[in-house]
Amino acid sequence: MTTSLTLTSGRRPDGAAVLTVAGEIDMSNAGELDKAIASVDGPLVVVDLTAVGYLDSAGLSVLFRHTDRVELVATPLLEPVLTISGLAELVTVHGLRAG
């Protein structure tokens, strides 16, 4: 059974590509996220995870695969998994608590 995931692409006013993700990211749908990130034109993809309630290791694996071109927007809910995995040290993450 595939977990519900919504992926919406767009552009910020400055022209940067944005991929807005909503739902839960797990092994049942991580491939969709991977394809969506890979299909975005341009050197940088801002992945907005503010509407993501769950992110497992399959989702993290996808984000690690794209560290050379992603920037993340997340809420403090995802801070532990982004920090403990080391992903927050490899990419810019907006929206987490300071220090």
Q: What is the 3-state secondary structure (H, E, C) of 15-76?
A: CCEEEEEEEEECCCCHHHHHHHHHHCCCCCEEEEEEEEEEECHHHHHHHHHCCCCEEEECCH
What is the Cα–Cα distance from 40 to 90, expressed in whole angstroms?
20
- Ordered by start, the domain boundaries in the chain are 5-94
> pLDDT at position 98, please?
58
Q: Answer yes or no: CATH 3.30.750.24 is held by domain 5-94.
A: yes
- For the chain, the residue count is 99
> pLDDT at position 1, please?
66
**Tens-digit pLDDT profile for residues 67-80:** 999 999 999 999 99
Report pTM: 0.93
Question: Does the pLDDT value for residue 33 go beyond 90?
Answer: yes
Beta bridge partners of 38: none
Question: Does the pLDDT value for residue 99 go beyond 80?
Answer: no
